[in-house]
Structure formats: structure tokens, C-alpha cells
């Protein structure tokens, strides 16, 4: 029996990692192993190598990535700290050994299997103990996670409640900001407490547009990715999906920020689900999640003067319930419109980073730039500096 046939039969016996065999890489390998004629084998081999190239040209790295991301019965049991059956553990050990051998296959192995000395496309690989690496990651599963959460940091929610990775997630980092250090430190401190298993608050970041509220949340999520933090963004018109989202992540060993951007409601909107979540309703809240929301308004329920009249017998109670929604966030942080001094500090810092010397004339132009837009903001300062580059 050839090395490749042995690995093929080993893969066929998979029970724990069986779902992974539906991935294109393994399907192409199976097609190769079952091919009879040399020319057919060569075509199937080329398709197999093509899948490796899509993953970066290294078979070892492709296998490693697929194993670490696989969400199977074993990794879920470990994540939930359940007792592992000796039978399941024996299957896991065997399958990881097979995967280690599979990841070590070289183009020479395939050439020998086909009995050809003609040119065949090659690929990279290296020595890797997949079993040891996998066990090491499971020892810190609260930092690495599994499934789609293993290699992605930010997600969005589809209208059916499915959690999907954001392909082009914002990679912003904390060192890119200028100003608002105290405000960001509060978010950092709360997040660090959350990751440490200490009491942490849901946060409302409110204030003027362009002050960096949303970017702060995303930068904090990026900063703590290696500590096991993930961000799931849900739109305000999807709040009825909160229980489903919380249910999906409730047994996960990772920690999650549920991010709601630009939060506001009209008086007749249904915000009961968010209210229930903020109040810790058992049906709506996951222990491994906090809610971070941004809003341009301190009172996120829009109210008009006409709302103060009407036929509601207990109208005052209704008004107080609406206006107190923001108070249900454990921590509210104001990102105020910068005064001229802070605005110019931001201008100077951004200019220095871009190799621009700030003269009194440039300061005047920066101020005029802000006034032409109606207000000063960090975003406005960034746009002005970009106009000089």
C-alpha cells in the first residue's frame, strides 16, 4: 500500500473531523486517490495543488488552518468543559495523526504514486505536529476559539440571525488615534475587566459625529483579539435577533462585544428586546457578551414636543421609560465635539505623522476647513490633513 493510499483510507475513517472532508482541499485529494489512469490522476492532482495555492501555496498551512477552524463535537465538548469519552479521544488522536501525515505530503510523494518523472506542479510544506499544536490551542481555547471565530475578529448578522465573518474588517489600531485618551481608556479598562472575568458594564459611547466612537470600539476589539475577544455587529433594525445571536455564542469559550452603531429609536419603535438584554434578562443575555453601542444622542429615544401630549393616561411614566433607556447602560462615555485647542492638537499630531510642518497659516486653513463643514471633529482634522498630502 502506498503512502497516499494509506492516508486516503485514514481520512475515510474520520468521525470527529469528518465535516472537514467536505472542504475543497480534501475533495480534490479524494478525487485524485480514486482516479485510475495516470493522465486522470495528473489532472486531479493539478486541481488539488490549485486548492493549495488558494490557501497560500503551503499544504501544511492549509491543513493547519482547516483543523483549527473546524467546529466539531470534540472541540465543542472541550469548550463547554464536558467530560471526553475515551473512545472519542482515541478517534481524535488517530485522526490528528493522519492529518499530520497528510500535511507532510510532498510533490515527490505524488510523482512516485503516479509513477511519472514528468513535470508536475509543486507546492510548499513543512514539518508540523498537528496533534501537538491542536492540543496546545485547546489548552487556551478561551483565547483561540474554534470554527469561524478561530481566525476572524469581526462579524455581522444576516437577517436570518446567521453570524458571518466580515471579509474586509476594519484593522484600525489604538495608536492611530489622537485625543480622547481618557474616554478610550474607560473603554479599555471595562474591556480588560470583561476579559478577566470581572464585572463589566454595557457601554454607550455618545457624542458628536466624527469623534471616533465607532472606531474606538473596533480598535479595542482588534487590540484584544489575541486575548479571545470578538466583535459581532448587529443593526438596530435587527434587535429582535438578539436572543438568537446570544444563544449562538452562549456556550462559546470566547468573549464577545455585541456592537450596535448609531443607535437611536423613534418613539414608536420596539426597543423592548434591547431593554431586556441590558437589564440582564435570562432569555436575552449571554454571560460571555457585553453590548457596546454608539449614538449621536445622549437620550437615544427621539422625542418631540407632540410626544408630551396625547391620550396616554400614564404618559409621564411612558416618557420616563423611553428616556431612561440610555441610563440602562452601565457606563456612558461622552465624546464631545473638540474645542479649538484640541482640534489643533489633533491637526499637529496628524501633520507630524505625515511629515507636514504646521505653520500659523496652515492652522488658519484648518480652522476655516472645519467651519466650512459646520463643526470641528477628529474626522474633519483627518480630512484636512489628507487634503494637504
The confidence score (pLDDT) of residue 268 equals: 43
The confidence score (pLDDT) of residue 304 equals: 45
Alpha-carbon torsion angle 276, 280, 285, 291, nearest 10? 80
Side-by-side strand order, sheet with 154-157: 163-165, 154-157, 229-233, 255-260, 289-295, 203-207, 331-335
The confidence score (pLDDT) of residue 283 equals: 53
**Can you name the residues that pair with 257 across neighbouring β-strands?**
231, 290
- Grid coordinates given for 367: 480652522
SS3 239: helix
The pLDDT tens digits of the residues spanning 121-149 come to 999 988 889 999 999 999 999 999 998 99
The confidence score (pLDDT) of residue 315 equals: 45
Q: In whole angstroms, give the CA distance from residue 92 to residue 8.
A: 17
Tell me which H or E stretch contains 233: strand 229-233
The confidence score (pLDDT) of residue 286 equals: 81
The confidence score (pLDDT) of residue 371 equals: 87
Q: In whole angstroms, give the CA distance from residue 228 to residue 218.
A: 14
The confidence score (pLDDT) of residue 308 equals: 45
Q: In whole angstroms, give the CA distance from residue 59 to residue 103.
A: 6
The confidence score (pLDDT) of residue 20 equals: 94
**Could you tell me if 280 and 317 are in contact, meaning their C-beta atoms sit under 8 angstroms apart?**
no
- Grid cell 476579559 in the structure block, residue: 195
Pairing of strands 289-295, 331-335: unpaired
The confidence score (pLDDT) of residue 98 equals: 96
SS3 186: helix
**Could you tell me if 300 and 322 are in contact, meaning their C-beta atoms sit under 8 angstroms apart?**
no
**Could you tell me if 155 and 231 are in contact, meaning their C-beta atoms sit under 8 angstroms apart?**
yes
- Residue count of the chain: 389
Contact partners, residue 33, CB within 8 Å, separation at least 6: 4, 5, 8
- Grid coordinates given for 13: 475513517
- Where do runs of H (alpha helix) occur along 279-331? 315-323
CA terminus-to-terminus distance, the chain: 65
The confidence score (pLDDT) of residue 281 equals: 56
The confidence score (pLDDT) of residue 319 equals: 42
| DSSP-derived secondary structure for 146-179 | -GGGTT--EEEE-TTS-EEE-TT-----GGG--S
The angle that helices 24-34 and 38-54 make with each other, rounded to 10 degrees, is 170
Q: In whole angstroms, give the CA distance from residue 186 to residue 200.
A: 11
The pLDDT tens digits of the residues spanning 357-384 come to 999 999 999 999 988 888 888 889 889 9
What is the pLDDT tens value at each position of the chain, 389 positions in all?
Answer: 789 999 999 999 999 999 999 999 999 999 999 998 989 999 999 999 999 999 899 999 999 999 999 999 999 999 888 999 999 999 999 999 999 999 999 999 999 999 988 899 999 988 889 999 999 999 999 999 998 999 899 999 999 999 999 988 889 999 888 888 999 999 999 999 999 999 999 999 998 888 889 999 999 999 999 999 999 999 988 988 998 999 999 889 999 999 999 887 554 445 666 776 776 655 556 889 999 999 886 555 444 444 444 544 444 544 444 455 666 788 999 998 888 888 898 899 889 988 999 999 999 999 999 888 888 888 898 899 999 88
The confidence score (pLDDT) of residue 340 equals: 87
**Could you tell me if 195 and 186 are in contact, meaning their C-beta atoms sit under 8 angstroms apart?**
no
The confidence score (pLDDT) of residue 80 equals: 86
Nearest C-alpha neighbor of 11 from the set 2, 27, 1, 24: 27
The confidence score (pLDDT) of residue 313 equals: 45
Amino acid at each position: 500500500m502506498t503512502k497516499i493510499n494509506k492516508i486516503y483510507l485514514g481520512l475515510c475513517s474520520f468521525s470527529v473531523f469528518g465535516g472537514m472532508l467536505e472542504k475543497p482541499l480534501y475533495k480534490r485529494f479524494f478525487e485524485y486517490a480514486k482516479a485510475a489512469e495516470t493522465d486522470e490522476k495528473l489532472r486531479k492532482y493539478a486541481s488539488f495543488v490549485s486548492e493549495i495555492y488558494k490557501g497560500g501555496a503551503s499544504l501544511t498551512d492549509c491543513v493547519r488552518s482547516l483543523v483549527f477552524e473546524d467546529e466539531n463535537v470534540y472541540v465543542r465538548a472541550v469548550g463547554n468543559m464536558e467530560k471526553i469519552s475515551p473512545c472519542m479521544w482515541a478517534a481524535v488522536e488517530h485522526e490528528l495523526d493522519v492529518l499530520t501525515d497528510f500535511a507532510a505530503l510532498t510533490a515527490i510523494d505524488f510523482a512516485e504514486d503516479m509513477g511519472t518523472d514528468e513535470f508536475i506542479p509543486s507546492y510548499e510544506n513543512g514539518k508540523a505536529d498537528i496533534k501537538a499544536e491542536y492540543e496546545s490551542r485547546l489548552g487556551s481555547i478561551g483565547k483561540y476559539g474554534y470554527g469561524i471565530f478561530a481566525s476572524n475578529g469581526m462579524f455581522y448578522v444576516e437577517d436570518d440571525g446567521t453570524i458571518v465573518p466580515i471579509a474586509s474588517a476594519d484593522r484600525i489600531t489604538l495608536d492611530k488615534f489622537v485625543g480622547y485618551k481618557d474616554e478610550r481608556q474607560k473603554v479599555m479598562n471595562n474591556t480588560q475587566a470583561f476579559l478577566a472575568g470581572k464585572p463589566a458594564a454595557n457601554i454607550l459611547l455618545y457624542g458628536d459625529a466624527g469623534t471616533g466612537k465607532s472606531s474606538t470600539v473596533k480598535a479595542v476589539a482588534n487590540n484584544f483579539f489575541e486575548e479571545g475577544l470578538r466583535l459581532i455587529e448587529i443593526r438596530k433594525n435587527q434587535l429582535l435577533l438578539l436572543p438568537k445571536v446570544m444563544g449562538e455564542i452562549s456556550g462559546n469559550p470566547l468573549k464577545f462585544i455585541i456592537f450596535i452603531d448609531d443607535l437611536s429609536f423613534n418613539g414608536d419603535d420596539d426597543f423592548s428586546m434591547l431593554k431586556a438584554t441590558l437589564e440582564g434578562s435570562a432569555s436575552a443575555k449571554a454571560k460571555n457578551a457585553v453590548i457596546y453601542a454608539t449614538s449621536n444622542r445622549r437620550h437615544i429615544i427621539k422625542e418631540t414636543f407632540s410626544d408630551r401630549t396625547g391620550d396616554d393616561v400614564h404618559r409621564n411614566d411612558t416618557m420616563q421609560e423611553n428616556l431612561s433607556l440610555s441610563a440602562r447602560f452601565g457606563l456612558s462615555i461622552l465624546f464631545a465635539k473638540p474645542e479649538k485647542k484640541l482640534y489643533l492638537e489633533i491637526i499637529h499630531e496628524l501633520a507630524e505623522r505625515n511629515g507636514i510642518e504646521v505653520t500659523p497659516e496652515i492652522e488658519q486653513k484648518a480652522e476655516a476647513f472645519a467651519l466650512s463643514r459646520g463643526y470641528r471633529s477628529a474626522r474633519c482634522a483627518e480630512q484636512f490633513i489628507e487634503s494637504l498630502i
